[in-house]
Amino acid sequence: MYTPKAIIEIFHLMFLRQFSAQIDSNLYAVKGGCNLRFFFNSIRYSEDLDLDIRTIQMQTLKSKVDKILASLPLLKLLQGYGVTQISFSAPKQTETTQRWKIQLQTSNSELPLHTKIEFSRRADVTERELGSVGMRICQAYGLSPTRLSHYGHDAAVAQKVLALANRTLTQARDIFDLYHLLHISKPQAAEYEPEVLAKAQEALASISFADYKSQVVNFMEIDQQEIYDSDDYWQTISNQVFQYLSELER
């Protein structure tokens, strides 16, 4: 039996497989938590699926996504994982942001699972690359190898620095994700405006262990939660990210 977090992840993957079969890989890029989870072996599940998109007209994209979400093939793929019904709405459809809210009804719960898919046209996708979803993920769900367009390591680091600086409400996941990426490899030298780095450091300092626990630890598997549910570990994460941000000022 799959956990609710895993079922949402399976939905994200199945949607992306259907979507990528219809959209040129040069026109989109997976970003955020799903990017880290699928391509950088993150242990943090992502609540939602975020992508950057370009060129495709707003109504064209809406029609394609609506058709995929309402399609019998997508539901058939998900039925093997306990999903019995997919319902959705498209509450935000603008030239810069298109968002869908999805409810997944499953056979082992009366309450639906909730997730979102969001496309943004605010960024260029020239730093995207074509990559294979991690074998660990594919094996966990019995999936064949899957290649998707996503942001590479250094682009993902830059996105997390900017997210930390610019979000209206600071998210602990940005700090954890940045820590995770920095441990994979050191990114090439990057330049940020001093005020961006100052805002990122201020945001970092505002996050508590309780925030980290609710926004990050709760989105791990139980065995991983036992390892990472520690104030000392949170201090290690925040200190190393702060050190990286400080080095960027020099």
pLDDT tens readout for residues 131-188: 999 999 999 999 999 999 999 999 999 999 999 999 999 999 999 999 999 999 989 8
Measured CA to CA, the distance from residue 223 to residue 103 in angstroms comes to 27
Give mean pLDDT, residues 48-67.
97
Among 120-129, 151-160, 218-227, the minimum mean pLDDT is found in 120-129
pLDDT value at 96 more than 90:
yes
CA 51 to chain centre: 8
Q: Is the pLDDT of residue 87 over 90?
A: yes
pLDDT band, residue 125 (cuts 50/70/90): confident
Query: Distance (Å, rounded) from C-alpha 144 to C-alpha 135?
Result: 9
Res 22 pLDDT > 90: yes
Residue range 30-43, pLDDT digits in tens: 999 999 999 999 99
97 pLDDT band, cuts 50/70/90, is very high
Q: Is 82 within 8 Å of 107 (Cβ atoms)?
A: yes
For residues 204 and 127, the model is more confident at 204
Q: Which domains can be identified in the chain, with CATH numbers?
A: 4-151 (3.10.450.620), 154-248 (no CATH)
The chain-wide mean pLDDT, for the chain, equals 96
Asked whether the predicted pLDDT for residue 82 surpasses 80, the reply is yes
Per the structure block, which two tokens stand in for 219?
């989105």
Give the global pTM.
0.95
More confident residue, 139 or 126: 139
pLDDT > 90 in the chain, percent: 94
**Residue 126 predicted with pLDDT over 80:** no
The confidence band for 122, taking pLDDT boundaries of 50, 70 and 90, is confident
Binned at pLDDT 50, 70 and 90, residue 46 comes out as very high
Does residue 44 surpass a pLDDT of 90? yes
